[in-house]
Amino acid sequence: MTTTTSMLTKAKAAITDKVQATVPVDRQVRAAHLVKKAQRFAGLSTPLVFTEQPIPDPADVPLTEIDVSNPFMNRQGKWYPYFARLREEAPIHYLADSPFGPFWSITRYADIQAVDSNPDVFSAEPYIVLGPPPLEIEMFIAMDPPKHDVQRKAVQGVVAPRNLKEMESLIRERVQEVLDGLPTDEPFDWVQAVSKEITGRMLATLLDFPYEQRHKLTYWSDTISGTAEGTGGTTHQDEMFAAAEELARSFVALWHDKAARRAAGEPDGFDLITLMQTSEDTKDLIHKPMEFLGNLTLLIVGGNDTTRNSMSGGVYALNQYPDQFEKLKADPSLIPNMVSEIIRWQTPLAYMRRVAKKDVHFGGQFIRKGDQVIMWYASGNRDERKFEDADRLIIDRKNARNHMSFGFGVHRCMGNRLAEMQLRILWEELLERFDRIEVVGEPEYVQSNFVKGYDSMMVRLTPKA
C-alpha cells in the first residue's frame, strides 16, 4: 500500500514537473483560474466577502471569542487595545472559529521570537497568510529549509551591500524627482504621490522593468496580496488571476528580452534578472516557470506595500508626536535610528503564519500538529516587556533596531537593508526641502488583516524659508 502510494506520488510529481517545464506560465495561471471558476460554478467554493461592522471594545468580548483576524481592526483603531488584552490575559490564545479556520495567536515579543526561530517545529509551508491564497505560487518565504535556503541564496545578491551602493545614487535621484514635483501649500494624497511612486520606481530599478510601465508592478502586487481568502482584503479572485496572468507574461518577456540584449553585448546590470541569468543556481529558472514566477512575485510583493506603508506611517507618526519632528529637525543624524523606530511603530506586515509540524507544549498551552500559529509582529512591537512606552514613537529610542517587523531566523526579511536605505534617503531629502509636513484629516486604511497600511493620506507641505 505504502509502496503504491509513494509510486503514485512520485508519478504525480514527475507529471507536474513536466507540465511546469513545458506549459507557458501564463497558461498555467489561466488553467488554475479555470479550475477555480469551475469550482465556484459547481458550488464547491464560495468566494469570501467581508462587510465592515463596528468592532466592540475588547473588554466587552469574552476572551475565547476574540478574533484579531478581522480585516477592519486596523481601520477602526482596535488592534492595539485587543493585542494589549491578549498579551496580558492570554499570550498564547486559541480561537476555535474564524473565517480563516481555528488559529493560535502569539502576541508577546519573546514568544514570537521563539516561534519564528524554530522552523523545525513551526513550518512556513505552504503559505504565510491566514487563508489559502486562491493561486498558490511557489515562494521561498513559504518554504522550509533546505529548499528555502537554496532559493534564497540564489537571489539574495540583488540586495547585497555592493549592489545597494550601486543603487543608492539612482534611488536618490528618483526620490529627488518625486519630491521636486510635489505641490506645496495645498493638500495632496501622500500615498499616491510619494509612497506608491517611490516604491514603484525602486521596484522598476530592482528588476530593470520598463520604467514607463512601473505602475503595473504596484498594481499587480496589491492585487495579488489583497485577496479576501488570503488576508481579508478586497481583491476578487478573478481580478487576482487576471493580474497574475499578466504579471507572468510580462516577466517571461522581460527575461527573454534581457537575454537577447545581453547576447547582443549589452553590459550586465545589477538588476535581479541579470543576477538570475548569470548565477549557476538560477540561470535555468525560466524552465521552472512557477518557481520563476514565485521568486519574482515575492520580490515585488515583499518590497512593495511594506516600504510604501513605512513611508506613509512615518509621516503620520511624526504628526502624532510633533515633538519628535522638532527633535529630528534639530538633529538630522537621528534619521537612521528613526527609520528603525518608524518600522517598529508601523509594523507594515502585521503577522506571519506558521503551522505546527508536531504536537508541542508552548507557553503553557498544547499546540497540536497541523494547527495554524500566527506570530503577531504588530503586537510584539508594542510589547511593554520589550519596549518602554511602546505605543509612542521615540526617534532616539535605544533599542529601536530590535523591532520584529522584519521577522527573525531563516526568513528574516531579505530586503531589510534596501528598505532602510530608501526610507533614510526619503527623510534626508525631505528635511532638505520642507519645514512642515502636515497630515490634514484622518488617513484611510487598507482593509486587510496582514498589510497594516494606508489607502490615502492628505498632506500639506511647507517649503523651507
**Residues lying near ligand HEM in the complex (CB under 6 A):** 116, 140-141, 152, 159, 298-299, 302-303, 306-307, 310, 343, 348-349, 352, 405-409, 411-415, 418-419
Query: Long-range contacts for 212-220 (Cβ within 8 Å, ≥24 apart)?
Result: 213/250, 216/246, 216/247, 216/250, 217/300, 217/304, 218/304, 218/308, 219/243, 220/244, 220/246, 220/247, 220/297, 220/300
Q: Which is nearer to ligand HEM, 233 or 407 (CB)?
A: 407
Q: How far is it, in rounded angstroms, from Cα 252 to Cα 247?
A: 9
Q: Which is nearer to ligand HEM, 92 or 298 (CB)?
A: 298
- Answer for the pair 418, 154: CB distance below 8 angstroms, yes or no: no
Q: How far is it, in rounded angstroms, from Cα 207 to Cα 222?
A: 17
Q: Which is nearer to ligand HEM, 55 or 293 (CB)?
A: 293
Cβ at position 244, least distance to ligand HEM in Å: 18
Cβ at position 304, least distance to ligand HEM in Å: 8
Q: Which is nearer to ligand HEM, 55 or 406 (CB)?
A: 406
Q: How far is it, in rounded angstroms, from Cα 223 to Cα 426?
A: 26
Cβ at position 139, least distance to ligand HEM in Å: 8
Cβ at position 82, least distance to ligand HEM in Å: 20
Q: Which is nearer to ligand HEM, 26 or 420 (CB)?
A: 420
Q: Which is nearer to ligand HEM, 33 or 386 (CB)?
A: 386
Q: Which is nearer to ligand HEM, 152 or 397 (CB)?
A: 152
Cβ at position 313, least distance to ligand HEM in Å: 9
Cis peptide before 81 (omega within 30 of 0): no
Q: Which is nearer to ligand HEM, 385 or 412 (CB)?
A: 412
Cβ at position 162, least distance to ligand HEM in Å: 15
Cβ at position 86, least distance to ligand HEM in Å: 19
Residue type, 205: T
Cβ at position 230, least distance to ligand HEM in Å: 15
